[in-house]
Structure 1
Amino acid sequence: MVDMDADWPLPRPINLFKEEQRPAVSSLSTTSSIASTFSSLATPVVAEAVRRARELATNCDAEGFHQLRVAFRKLRALYWAYSPYLGEEATAQATEEFKRLAAVAGGTRDWDIAGDLLKGARESRASMGLLVAAAREKRAQAVVHSQTMIKSDDIEAFLNDVLLRAQVTLESSCNDLPIQEFAEDRVRRAQRALKKRSRYASRNDTAHEEDLHDVRKAGKKLRYLLEFFQPVIKGGHDRTIKELTSVQNKLGQFNDIAASETLIRSASFNDIPPEVVQESLQWLEKQKCRRMRAASQRVRAIAS
């Protein structure tokens, strides 16, 4: 992993993206430049990330952690879109840190999901109550870890820094280049990547977990790009976004099961009888197989 503390020192927040001083985001148009649209698109996502990070200091609800993770995922997609002009090294450094921060925020969210799933198992297996309680404790530990690692001032300073660097780079390389052709090209590339991943995952009757995960990531990237660039690309994409959201929901249901199974396998439950943990894993495995079949069907539809 890139040492972000070495490569990206965290200064005190500057005014460029400071939350309370952010200007209203102007509507994108086909006459906008590539450089100017980056600022317009990045600013509200940064505002959301900073706001969510600040709220988590005192509020640890599941939705806050989820939306913070989504904000960092959107920034990764945006950096991928502009990477031809940002450069490979700068893109890799920034997106690696976005990924790390999303993972820190996701720790609490993952235990929320696992706990909810185990509650479903508890309805038919009373012994699961012990594991549900243990999941609540793990969730509380994850909250403390996330709050320790996620400091809103540091995140705001980091985002200000990397986005200012990106803006300077873009203004020097593509300030006069129109956005429409560029946006359509990046969306096409994301579409081709999703199609390729879907076809690869569909080569067998039932896709592998890793392949479904790759399809899910490719689908998220495409959906975020369509949402970002919809005002400046030809053709209506509301239906495509709706379909992608539906597919993502189905893949997300499978991912929740698979991630929860991995989470429980890797965790230590000193006060829980091993047979209870094993019983939960067997239940999750059955649910995973069922959801994998449903997810595979949706992926085959994309591939065709």
Structure 2
Amino acid sequence: MDMDADWPLPQPITLFKMNRRSTGSSLSKASSIASTFSSLAAPVVADAVQRAKELSTQSDAEGFHQLRVAFRKLRALYWAYSPYLGEEATAQATEEFKRLAALAGGTRDWDIAGDLLKAAQESRASIALLVAAAREKRAQAVEHSQTMIRSDEVETFLNDALLRAQTTLESSCNDLPIRAFAEERVRLAQRALQKRGRRAARSETASEENQTAHEENLHDVRKAGKKLRYLLEFFQPVIKGGHDRTIKDLMSVQNMLGQFNDIAASETLIRSASFNEVPPEVVQESLQWLEKQKGRRMRAASRRVRAIAS
């Protein structure tokens, strides 16, 4: 989607102050749906803008990762408020969040792949040349991310997007209480996670030819789990019951699914990349190692997903 064509960007504004307050710190059960949106979004936006500025001159792996996380949180928040934001506005904003997250994630992906290749090298897989090539790919990804993610444009887009959202919400749900709305959105996210968990559990027992489908289903469970976790973190101050244990459990499941996803994504990354200075047999050796590790981690992830499905 060409956001510049569909959504003209204004000159930068400073609607949101740059700080890193804990999200949800100013929420109360008496808050309205409209007012909670800015309370929740502002700290995430501030964090994203600050990290984008820092990464224009730095190449810290964790910085790229946290920038991607910030955009994922904004996608979850827009999904939560989509009944009042409208389908088109939600789709436009989340598409751009997804694009920016992908740009930030390129460096992170090569960091993960590089670490896995180093582990393979320690396991006597003779792939030193590929490890060096992965470092070069990582450097190229940093350059691409820094070129494409311009902090002033990110700040302008985010401020404009949230100003539009806030204006829409104030005109449609300014007096509606937050609690029932938040609880309903969390319930929907929980149902989506359980549904995807059941689908993944069924696909685990399918034939080997459908392994790709099972991998995709596990990835869907991971995304659904992240959305639920972010919503619980956002809305915990205003919804009934304590959810610290649920959040902790979700983090545990995500960690297991994340380990599998790191292997699967790295395998795809290496298969799709070209390594002119690396012999094909070395690349193949690394892919065989990754395939073996992927199977082991898939089995572990599938066991956790079965627990979700039940």
What TM-score, normalized to structure 2? 0.95
In structure 2, relative to structure 1, the CA distance for the partners of 1:15 and 1:204 (3 Å cut) is closer
Which residue of 2 is the match for residue 217 of structure 1?
A: 223
- What is the 5 A alignment of 1:163-178? 163-178=162-177
In structure 2, relative to structure 1, the CA distance for the partners of 1:278 and 1:26 (3 Å cut) is closer
Q: Distance in 1 between matches of 2:203 and 2:160?
A: 45
Gaps in structure 2 of 5+ consecutive residues: 206-210
Query: Offset of 1:204 from its aligned partner?
Result: 3.8
Which residue of 2 is the match for residue 15 of structure 1?
A: 14
Query: Offset of 1:26 from its aligned partner?
Result: 5.2
Which residue of 1 is the match for residue 149 of structure 2?
A: 150
Q: Distance in 2 between matches of 1:265 and 1:204?
A: 24
Does structure 2 conserve the Cα–Cα contact (< 8 Å) formed by 1:35 and 1:170? Answer: yes
Aligned mate of 1:267, from 273, 276, 280: 273
Q: How well do the aligned residues superpose, as a CA RMSD in angstroms?
A: 1.5
Which residue of 2 is the match for residue 281 of structure 1?
A: 287
Which residue of 2 is the match for residue 189 of structure 1?
A: 188
Which residue of 1 is the match for residue 53 of structure 2?
A: 54
After TM superposition, the structure 1 stretch with the greater mean CA deviation from structure 2, 123-132 or 245-254, is: 123-132
Q: Distance in 1 between matches of 2:18 and 2:151?
A: 11
- Identity of aligned pairs, percent? 84
Does structure 2 conserve the Cα–Cα contact (< 8 Å) formed by 1:8 and 1:162? Answer: no
User: Is 2:26 aligned against 1:31?
Assistant: no
Alignment coverage as a number of residue pairs: 302
Q: Distance in 1 between matches of 2:287 and 2:2?
A: 36
Q: Distance in 1 between matches of 2:241 and 2:140?
A: 47
Residue by residue over 1:178-230, the C-alpha shift from the partner in whole angstroms, topping out at 9 and shown as x without a partner, is 00000000000000000000001001445710000000000000000000000
Residue by residue over 1:251-296, the C-alpha shift from the partner in whole angstroms, topping out at 9 and shown as x without a partner, is 0000000000000000000010000000000000000000000000
Which residue of 2 is the match for residue 97 of structure 1?
A: 96
Which residue of 1 is the match for residue 257 of structure 2?
A: 251
Q: Distance in 1 between matches of 2:224 and 2:251?
A: 12
Gaps in structure 1 of 5+ consecutive residues: none
Does structure 1 conserve the Cα–Cα contact (< 8 Å) formed by 2:17 and 2:42? Answer: no
Does structure 2 conserve the Cα–Cα contact (< 8 Å) formed by 1:130 and 1:272? Answer: yes
After TM superposition, the structure 1 stretch with the greater mean CA deviation from structure 2, 24-33 or 278-287, is: 24-33
Q: Distance in 2 between matches of 1:38 and 1:122?
A: 48
Q: Distance in 1 between matches of 2:305 and 2:235?
A: 24
Does structure 1 conserve the Cα–Cα contact (< 8 Å) formed by 2:24 and 2:235? Answer: no
Q: Distance in 2 between matches of 1:12 and 1:281?
A: 47
Which residue of 2 is the match for residue 110 of structure 1?
A: 109
Which residue of 2 is the match for residue 295 of structure 1?
A: 301
What TM-score, normalized to structure 1? 0.97
Q: 2:77 corresponds to which letter in structure 1?
A: L
SS of equivalent to 1:182:
helix
